[in-house]
Amino acid sequence: MVTPTGETLLAGFYRCRYLGPSTEDRIWPHAEGIDLAGTCDIYDLTLVDDLLDLSGRLVIDWGASERAWIQRADNQNKVVLEIRTVFQEPDFPGFERFIAPLSKIEGLPLSWRTALSNSRGVYLLTCPKTKEQYVGAAYGEGGFYGRWLAYVHGGHGGNVALRSRDPSDYQVSILEVAGSAATFENIIGMEDLWKRKLQSREMGLNRN
């Protein structure tokens, strides 16, 4: 697994058993789309005990193909960079320095998800395809994290302009964190100010 800080940690070894082609439509987990029945292969994965004691502690040099979903271990030996004495989550970088693609939100360390769930405010989405930006506000239950999950699971979070675009792995960052006493109206006011600063209505994806 690749951590938000770019490290590659051993998650474990899995026994893989081919079950055959899919028998039903499967909804994409991180964008709008469907794999129709029979168009993808299904595998059963079982965690095995081999090197399980090194899970989360073994740091590997994954190489230049960080985004590749698979690499052949029998063709590409990996250099071991570090074996840690205990598993340790990377420190939360702080709200001002937090940047991540939406596809990695659900895989963030628990302490990061907790911090983001307990905070509200204004965030920025940027599209790597169209180079457009969208300013949004997180003020409901679940804070920033809960709001971003709506994009992960639905692709557009209910926003008109995002719904009109092809699915994309938006980058998310935080523009401003609201105080614990901030009201809904306070946060909406913060959001409106950032829309005007960034001109996201005129040159972005905001429509209100």
Domain ranges of the chain: 8-83, 99-198
Task: Look at phi and psi of residue 30 and say left if phi exceeds 0, alpha if psi is from -120 to 50, else beta.
Answer: alpha
Q: pLDDT value at position 160?
A: 47
Under 8 Å CB-to-CB from 185, ≥6 apart: which residues?
none
Using alpha carbons, select from 201, 70, 181, 26 the residue that is nearest to residue 191.
201
What CATH number was assigned to the domain covering residues 99-198?
3.40.1440.10
More confident residue, 109 or 10: 109
pLDDT tens string 63-95: 776 556 666 667 778 888 888 776 667 789 999
Q: Is the pTM of this model over 0.75?
A: no
Q: 115-173, pLDDT tens digit by residue?
A: 999 999 999 998 888 888 999 999 988 999 999 988 887 654 555 455 556 556 789 99
114 has a pLDDT exceeding 70? yes
Which residues have CB under 8 Å from 104's CB, separation 6+? 4
For 34-73, the pLDDT digits (tens) are 788 888 888 888 888 887 778 777 888 877 765 566 666 6
